[in-house]
Structure 1
């Protein structure tokens, strides 16, 4: 008997909705209690009952528009956070709309916001905990999907290494191939692809089949595909006509023609770009019109005292699509002719005392909130490099320019992975570029929040060894 995916189970879906309803009711009950006292909330007055009823009615359509991800095997923590934020935002929007339609608000906007914040914390915590336990459950051999691989092992190596993570709940039973296996693939060879049909008939537990097509076996491939379709086995074909690509490709359409693109770019979606830009404007705007003027005044006075010259340092750097823009920083060095050519080093004589402190604490980066507000940069993204470095490294590092497919950021995935500051070797820059490209291909709003949080933690702990 096939082992059914948890995310496909109607019982599990119903349980998730019921659980979300319970969390929502607790959240808004607490919000009401914080405002009016736990004694009154314990009596469940009419206003609270109506609010909870509206909440229950709005969580149901929310769960269909934004189904949960935490049950899925290939889900990561930042995906759960992003979907939790989306779910709570959507539910709050539905709730506010419903209250406006009945022309009576049973809770103030502040109380609704408090309830939403509590709901987000509870929802994310609960789903993270369940996802963690699901990974342990699957790593112990439960809720497995049984996989076979068919074709050249070189093409299937990435699939093997991904599915071989036991916490994902896949059991790779073997590979059908005539070729020798690399040492990194510890799998039994089950014969060539002409033996696949007999194996499938003898092993009904197989749930997934990954195949590299071969023109020498067109008839066998079609037969295997039809068998999989008729026996509820998920069939995946790998596009071997582009063997030079060793990464995931994305399916798209141009008219009626099916195409494969070399990468997934979430920020190509106008909705995603809009969400990211709105967050950038709101966050940078709040900072620029509250804290920044005070910081600018204090930093500006000290800079002027310690080093003659402008308060702000402007340098041309490459941004979105490689376009040039002026990146702003508090000046941390004496005015010099090498600023557009040489990176700062640990004991750089060009730095003055307060400038060195600003670099260690990242205060020198704060004027870049102006770049964010203007739209030249984002809060999170690949760090912009000086023009000379872009020219040099684009010739030395493969796919270097891919990092310019999104706006540069004040902080980024590479920085929280430790690839920050001076790059003394080519390998260090290559690792930074790989991290930047990973960000381009895996962006989510939850990932941005995670990066910002880790950046803040690193600053408070002074964990950034290359911050000089």
Structure 2
């Protein structure tokens, strides 16, 4: 997710919203004749109080339209052309909104040129304040060195060097480079990749990390993402300029240089996270109380009778933002040791008789509802991979798609799993399809989709899947 940085600049956006809403409503009183000799804000007849009705109408539709057009999403690297583009788009949309109101209430006696005067004066005021705030902050950064973000750049390629030059020359952008790290003997770098982790862990108050992703191993990318998550700093990626940009990561342009960052997918906005978390807690509690409360004692006896070892098998998995957690399953093997880099094959002699049944019906996954209750996992999401498998898979998958997959919590079940892409990876296409379905789920999440996946999973528990062994 994108962390808000800076001390007071974050207050600018709500100030601009309040100013803009005030302007469009105050000027409406001056320009529009609502055929009322007296303004009664407390009139019981709401529809006949056109002033109050217009305030409500204009405020609601202003907030909705600006949100849709991302009118207030102006950043330090946004170009002036893009700002004017936003203003023109909002002007056109709000013009339609105003004329729609006047058309709906024909009793309002307002001339067309008066409406245009209102709109032009409103947007002249809004544009002036928007530009004054934008260039005022630039001057504040250039001359007073305030509102500065402390950054490190990882990489030695063309994109990393271009970004370094941009931050160095364009002081008004407000970026202070605290280090440039790359695996190179050139003295112009602060240190190598290993040195960068030492530097970051020393607590230098870094706000943003810029990584040339194609120059890093999957483990290094994982470590930077985890550091950013723990220390609440932003991580952004510099793509190879010769490559087509991925549609899954958010693309911003610093001058003409594309910079990628994790988007806020619908699944991760505050309201949807609350809904999904509430659903996860209720569902996992029901499973723990109604199923596992009697299943655990029965399986404890059966598993112990067939082979020595614990009831549960616990292993490390990668969760959201590559965060490691202990994932729990019912033990299904004769030995509680899995050789790194190996998969359970269809006729694997390590699997016990009860273990075969548990794996075929996916009952071995049920202890993971404890992980759901703890918050490490969700009921539905991309299936978590073992750490060694994450390294293997990342070499076969486009890095941008693989990072996107780790942007949400992993699930006990998922879209890829019910489509048959689970268990043993026999060829590269298996993992490619798995990631494809995982990313489709993230991009198209809804509570209805979660319920559909859960119902399909329940059917598979009774019917079994040929890939589950």
| TM-score scaled by length of structure 1 | 0.45
| TM-score scaled by length of structure 2 | 0.45
